[in-house]
């Protein structure tokens, strides 16, 4: 079982327009409400992959009720901590003329100490049954910076491995607890660790040095059309799927967390796990809903993914 952990959930309201015109009245051709929040996105993908999973998240208000109903529609098992206020709405603007998206986030809930401690108790309850814990996204106001570090500590106590996808302070505060996989997109990785290179493969050496310093054995960097870089102590891989005409790319990065951990629980090699991750990420952009995908697209794209190996 894979446990997904989301501290700052969102309802993604996906609005399809031709293109953005400042100061004008724009009418959406259609609107789709879908799941938002990195851990919850991962659960959507895990459902498609047929991977047992449980989603733990804070939730609040009428928007939270609507989001929980969407989780139910996917058949996602969840254990929610209900708090005061309302869950965020992420307005996702899809400009169909340019195949690009933008996010406009609303302010969400705030949690208190009793509530985040209840959140950790739920992690404690489910961690003994988990092979992996995926945690990601931002933290709502009121949560300690090291919330994901505490989640990692609890998971490791029960023998579960951890993937964290949360830039900035939450990632840095979790490092003393040695997450098993650090996963960020390229811009988040630069903002968090100050590392960048002209070519994705040129990041391998500085990332490996960072891994040695912080004591982590795997870093995954997603880079859109440039592919996905996975760095291990003695080997690195870059996977690249054929470029797709994107309908909605939101959640494509989160699908990597889901596919990678699922593949590893199935004893797939790092190379094949990354291949599945790239195929799943490419499949996600073909649907209107955030993180939504179809198994037939994943299976079609899987053999088309190129994987390069870079030995030390």
Query: To 5 degrees, how large is the angle CA 13–CA 300–CA 248?
Result: 15
Predicted pLDDT of residue 27: 87
Decide: residue 125, CB within 10 A, 0-12 exposed, 13-18 middle, 19+ buried: middle
3-class secondary-structure state, position 269: coil
| Domain range enclosing 110 | 2-311
Q: Is the pLDDT of residue 85 over 80?
A: yes
Predicted pLDDT of residue 120: 98
Q: Is the pLDDT of residue 217 over 70?
A: yes
User: What end-to-end distance do the CA atoms of the chain give, in Å?
Assistant: 33
Predicted pLDDT of residue 26: 84
> What would the pLDDT profile of 89-99 be if each residue is shown by its tens digit?
999 888 988 88
Q: Check if the beta carbon of residue 176 is closer than 8 Å to that of residue 154.
A: no
> What would the pLDDT profile of 42-74 be if each residue is shown by its tens digit?
999 999 999 999 999 999 999 999 999 999 999
Q: Check if the beta carbon of residue 281 is closer than 8 Å to that of residue 253.
A: yes
Q: Report the percent of the chain where pLDDT is more than 70.
A: 100
> What would the pLDDT profile of 22-46 be if each residue is shown by its tens digit?
898 988 889 999 999 999 999 999 9
Q: Is the pLDDT of residue 179 over 80?
A: yes
Q: What is the CATH number of the domain that holds 290?
A: 3.40.1190.20
Residues 236-265 have a mean pLDDT of 96
- Region of poorest pLDDT, from 14-18, 238-242, 274-278: 14-18
Predicted pLDDT of residue 312: 67
Confidence of residue 136 (pLDDT cuts 50, 70, 90): very high
**Considering its fold, how many domains does the chain have in total?**
1
Confidence of residue 305 (pLDDT cuts 50, 70, 90): very high
Q: Is the pLDDT of residue 221 over 90?
A: yes
Q: Check if the beta carbon of residue 178 is closer than 8 Å to that of residue 216.
A: yes
Which residues on adjacent β-strands are paired with residue 103?
92
Q: Report the percent of the chain where pLDDT is more than 90.
A: 88
Decide: residue 33, CB within 10 A, 0-12 exposed, 13-18 middle, 19+ buried: middle
Give the Cα separation of 301 and 259 in Å (integer): 14
């Amino acid at each position: 079982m894979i446990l997904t952990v989301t501290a700052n959930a969102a309802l993604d309201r996906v609005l399809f327009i031709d293109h953005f015109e400042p100061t004008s009245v724009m009418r959406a051709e259609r609107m789709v409400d879908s799941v938002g929040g990195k851990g919850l996105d991962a659960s959507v993908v895990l459902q498609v992959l047929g991977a047992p999973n449980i989603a733990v998240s804070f939730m609040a208000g009428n928007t939270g009720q609507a989001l929980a109903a969407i989780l139910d529609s996917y058949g996602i098992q969840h254990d929610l901590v209900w708090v005061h206020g309302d869950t965020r709405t992420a307005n996702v603007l899809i400009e169909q003329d340019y195949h690009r998206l933008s996010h406009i986030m609303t302010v969400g809930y705030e949690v208190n100490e009793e509530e985040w401690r209840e959140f950790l108790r739920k992690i404690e309850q489910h961690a003994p049954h988990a092979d992996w814990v995926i945690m990601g996204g931002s933290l709502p106001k009121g949560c300690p910076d090291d919330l994901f570090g505490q989640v990692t500590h609890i998971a490791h106590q029960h023998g579960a491995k951890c993937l964290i996808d949360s830039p900035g302070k939450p990632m840095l505060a979790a490092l003393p607890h040695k997450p098993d996989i650090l996963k960020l997109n390229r811009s988040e990785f630069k903002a968090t660790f100050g590392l960048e290179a002209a070519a994705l493969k040129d990041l391998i050496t500085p990332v490996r040095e960072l891994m040695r310093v912080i004591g982590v054995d795997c870093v995954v960097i997603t880079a859109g059309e440039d592919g996905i870089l996975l760095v291990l102590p003695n080997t690195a891989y870059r996977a690249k799927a054929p470029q797709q005409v994107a309908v909605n790319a939101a959640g494509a990065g989160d699908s990597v967390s889901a596919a990678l951990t699922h593949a590893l629980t199935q004893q797939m090699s790092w190379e094949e796990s990354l291949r599945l991750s790239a195929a799943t990420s490419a499949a996600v952009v073909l649907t209107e809903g955030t993180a939504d995908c179809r198994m037939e697209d994943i299976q079609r794209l899987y053999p088309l993914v190129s994987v390069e190996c870079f030995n030390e």
